[in-house]
């Protein structure tokens, strides 16, 4: 029976790899060659990557693609997307091109507040607690002044702190609910530092002024940011929707709207619908060095704000005008974190004209809307598999180690034939025989 390893984090990188190979791999030489194949030849760059996280043994690469021709608020962008899924970049690019001559995308930031909370319990009188918090509220601002100084110089900082009584949900449970504006920083470290200072102030003041014990449970920001909202939309006359695969634009518009409405009322459809939106959002969030897990969690919570999980996008047809839009919470940053460390993150931000956090919010929202438009356009016209499987074709060929000649012949064949995994394998075997 295998024994646990002790002190793994204290081992050198070489020692970590040797232990993994000896413990888990029969063919250790092949595994070692694979790990080292993905190291960067530039030792300083590799060290930078090694220090992003703990216990690193290699790098795990994702393709970085570009979706060009995005007209956003009358300005043209080429959007970087880091993603492994076939057809995502192609779909975004097609949507961008479709709307380029139809007015492009419009986007606006509606609000930028972020949330942090100090969670605590108190068994005394609620009115006494409320009066106490009102009295010491200025102390929270004063005691955290050294933390907020630089943020306030730039125009951000703590917006408000309030007591929230949650005892109906959980016995003796209260919150200090704080709102922040972190400007171009995502602000997680800033918010958490402020919250921990609030907790310390609360604890010390409670000892002096409250008769009953107050217990701090934890202090942490929230990734649910329903007051940090961006909206993106496209619209045009229904007649302008006409193109090769939309011969009857009125029929298309009505069917498209019905597809959106289904996602608004049917959670099983809404999850897949929103997953497609996140294909676009996550890819740009990753490429710009932001936290896609936080973005995912906040957006999916927002999709459930009515009590039922629902579509993030909406569609209307009024007075002969087709309109399609998205409204989502996005807490993003363009300074701090990986933005100044990861070379390709810096490249991506430069490509996007070094945006502010608000500008990046607009770009990311547009990427999600474009992805959803492309998916719904395919679903309501030709079907999604035709385009997706053609993009997936190269992955199937690589999986079966097709030669360049075999790839060329099969790419030509499947230009006019339906792609399926079994059909690709069959044609490949036929070629080889």
Task: Give the DSSP per-residue string, 34-59.
Answer: HHHHTS-SSHHHHHHHHTTSSS--S-
CA dihedral (74, 75, 81, 87) positive or negative: positive
Active site residue 296: no
The greatest distance separating any two alpha carbons of the chain, rounded to the nearest whole angstrom, comes to: 87
Q: Give the pLDDT of residue 24.
A: 93
Annotated catalytic residue within 362, 388, 390, 392: 388
Q: What is the pLDDT of residue 303?
A: 98
Output the pLDDT for position 416.
76
Question: H or E element: which one contains 164?
Answer: strand 157-165
Q: Is 388 labeled as catalytic in the residue annotation? A: yes
Residues 6+ apart with CB under 8 A from 24: none
Do 357 and 183 contact (CB within 8 A), yes or no?
yes
Does the predicted TM-score (pTM) go above 0.75? Answer: yes
3-state SS class at 76: strand
In the prediction, which pLDDT does 232 show? Answer: 98
Q: What backbone torsions phi and psi does residue 133 show, to the nearest 5 degrees?
A: -65, -40
> In this structure, which long-range contacts are made by residues 409-416, counting pairs with CB atoms below 8 Å and at least 24 apart in sequence?
414/390
Total H helices, total E strands in the chain: 15, 10
Closest CA to 107 of 284, 226, 280, 234: 234
Helices 249-265, 357-379: crossing angle, 10 deg rounding: 110
3 state SS of 430: helix
Per-residue pLDDT of the chain (433 residues), as tens digits, is 678 899 999 999 999 999 999 999 999 999 999 999 999 999 999 999 999 999 999 999 999 999 999 999 999 999 999 999 988 999 999 999 999 999 999 999 999 999 999 999 999 999 999 999 999 999 999 999 999 999 999 999 999 999 999 999 999 999 999 999 999 988 999 999 999 999 999 999 999 899 888 999 999 999 999 999 999 999 999 999 999 989 999 999 999 999 999 999 999 999 999 999 999 999 999 999 999 999 999 999 999 999 999 999 999 999 999 999 999 999 999 998 888 889 999 999 999 999 999 999 999 999 999 999 999 999 999 765 555 566 678 778 888 888 888 888 888 888 777 777 888 888 888 888 8
Give kind and range of the element (H or E) at residue 360. Answer: helix 357-379
> Is the CB of residue 45 less than 8 Å from the CB of residue 342?
no
Of the residues 13, 172, 275, 300, which is catalytic?
275
Distance (Å, whole) CA 220 – CA 209: 25
The active-site residue out of 114, 233, 291, 342 is: 291
291 is catalytic: yes
Starting at the edge strand that comes first in sequence, how are the strands of the sheet with 106-109 ordered? 106-109, 229-237, 321-329, 313-318
Tell me how far apart the alpha carbons of residues 106 and 261 are, in angstroms, rounded to a whole number.
22
CA distance 308 to 265: 8
Of the candidates 18, 85, 200, 254, the residue annotated as catalytic is 85
SS3 for 302?
Answer: helix
Name, in order, each residue with C-beta under 8 angstroms of 338's C-beta and a sequence gap of 6 or more: 52, 289, 345
Supply the pLDDT for residue 395: 78
For 6-99, list the strands marked E by DSSP.
64-72, 75-82
pLDDT of residue 40: 92
Residue 275 catalytic?
Answer: yes
Strand boundaries in 297-356, DSSP class E? 313-318, 321-329
Distance in Å from the first CA to the final CA of the chain:
47
What is the pairing mode between strands 64-72 and 157-165? Answer: unpaired
């Amino acid at each position: 029976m295998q024994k646990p390893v002790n002190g793994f984090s204290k081992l050198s990188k070489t020692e970590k790899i040797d232990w993994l190979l000896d413990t888990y791999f029969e063919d250790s030489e092949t595994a070692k060659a694979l790990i080292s194949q993905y190291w960067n030849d530039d030792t300083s760059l590799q060290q930078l990557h090694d220090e992003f996280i703990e216990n690193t043994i290699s790098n795990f690469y994702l393709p970085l693609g570009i979706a060009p021709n995005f007209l956003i608020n009358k300005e043209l962008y080429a959007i970087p997307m880091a993603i492994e899924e076939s057809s995502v970049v192609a779909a975004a690019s097609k949507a961008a091109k479709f709307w380029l001559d139809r007015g492009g995308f419009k986007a606006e930031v509606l609000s930028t507040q972020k949330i942090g909370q100090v969670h605590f319990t108190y068994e005394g009188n609620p009115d006494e607690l409320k009066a106490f918090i009102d009295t010491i509220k200025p102390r929270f601002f004063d005691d955290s002044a050294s933390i907020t100084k630089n943020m306030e110089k730039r125009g951000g900082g703590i917006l408000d702190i309030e007591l929230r009584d949650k005892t109906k949900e959980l016995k003796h449970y209260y919150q200090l609910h704080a709102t922040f504006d972190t400007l171009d920083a995502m602000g997680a470290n800033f918010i958490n530092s402020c919250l921990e200072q609030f907790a310390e102030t609360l604890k010390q003041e409670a000892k002096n002024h409250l008769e009953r014990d107050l217990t701090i449970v934890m202090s942490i920001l929230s990734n649910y940011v329903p007051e940090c909202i961006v909206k993106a939309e496209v619209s045009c006359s229904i007649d302008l929707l006409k193109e090769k695969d939309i011969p009857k634009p009125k029929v298309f518009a009505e069917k498209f709207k019905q597809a959106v409405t289904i996602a608004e009322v049917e959670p099983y459809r809404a999850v897949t619908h929103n997953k497609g939106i996140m294909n676009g959002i996550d890819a740009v969030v990753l490429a710009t060095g932001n936290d896609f897990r936080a973005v995912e969690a906040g957006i999916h919570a927002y999709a459930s704000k009515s009590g039922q999980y629902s579509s993030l996008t909406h569609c209307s047809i009024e007075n002969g005008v087709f309109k399609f839009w998205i409204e989502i919470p996005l807490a993003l940053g363009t300074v701090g974190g990986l933005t100044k460390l990861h070379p390709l993150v810096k490249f991506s931000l430069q490509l996007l004209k070094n945006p502010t956090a608000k500008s990046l919010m607009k770009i990311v929202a547009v990427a999600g809307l474009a992805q959803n438009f492309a998916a719904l356009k395919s679903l309501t016209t030709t079907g999604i598999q035709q385009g997706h499987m053609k993009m997936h074709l190269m992955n199937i060929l690589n999986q079966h180690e097709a030669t360049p000649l075999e790839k060329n012949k099969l790419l030509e064949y499947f230009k006019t034939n339906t792609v399926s995994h079994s059909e690709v394998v069959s044609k490949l075997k036929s070629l080889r025989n």
